[in-house]
Amino acid sequence: MFKTIAKLYRTYVHKSMAGGGVINCEVLLLSFWLLLPKSCRIRRNGLWYNSLIKRQSSKRTMMSVADLLPKYTYNDYTQWEGDWELIEGIPVSMAPAPMRIHQTIATELVHGLRSSFDEMNCEDCEVTFEVDWRVSNDTVLRPDVVFICHDDNKKYLTKAPKIIIEILSPSTAKKDETVKFNIYEDEKVEYYLMVYPDDLVAKVYKMKEDKYTKVGDFTDEKLVFEDIGCDLNLDFGKVFKRFRK
């Protein structure tokens, strides 16, 4: 059964990449996962995989779909058409073009951070958006907004950003709240902000003792970032002002 699932997965992924399509591999994997009984499911590193335990000659062996699926690398990633992220060797298609409010909020966030950044004259730091972060050879992410320091690579980020902001939509919320949350925490990103456009609220998490601790929910308040090497703040009253009725 696993080999059949892996073959179907490989076919779907290759067709999607070749045509620049938007087949969502998360949905595809989840569909296969739901076909299996609960006893055959495991969770690893924040991602769901499928497993099958059986006895062979008095030995207990484990086989998982994750082990059978083709694993892709950064070099593969650079050849694909369309917009993708790569998570532990598994390609994940990004959502279609973001809604207008998503783009506008991203612009406001970048402007707010850059204004504070310019005032404080943080050397070798920058605020940018929609840039690839090569976490490892099999994981490449593209956060919405990042604040990064001392990274001179021109093609992609090679170091963990000090701050990452993701603007959530219905199609990305689950990934941003779980999978990316776990990766950013593991990579020691100092601050992770999740912005919810429909509610005009930002949930803010800060690294503390190698784990994320929630700072709070911000709607009109000013967030002062600490322990990032320079003084930086973000006024959410200004970020969300134009969207309030």
Answer whether CATH 2.30.110.10 is correct for domain 100-243: no
Q: In Å, how far are 46, 125, 169 from 182, measured between CA atoms?
A: 6, 25, 18
pLDDT digits (tens, 9 = 90+) for 44-92: 444 444 433 333 333 444 445 556 678 999 999 999 988 999 999 999 9
- pLDDT band at 177; cut points 50, 70, 90: very high
For residue 244, the one-letter residue type is R
CB 22 within 8 A of CB 16: yes
What ranges do the domains of the chain cover?
Answer: 2-93, 100-243
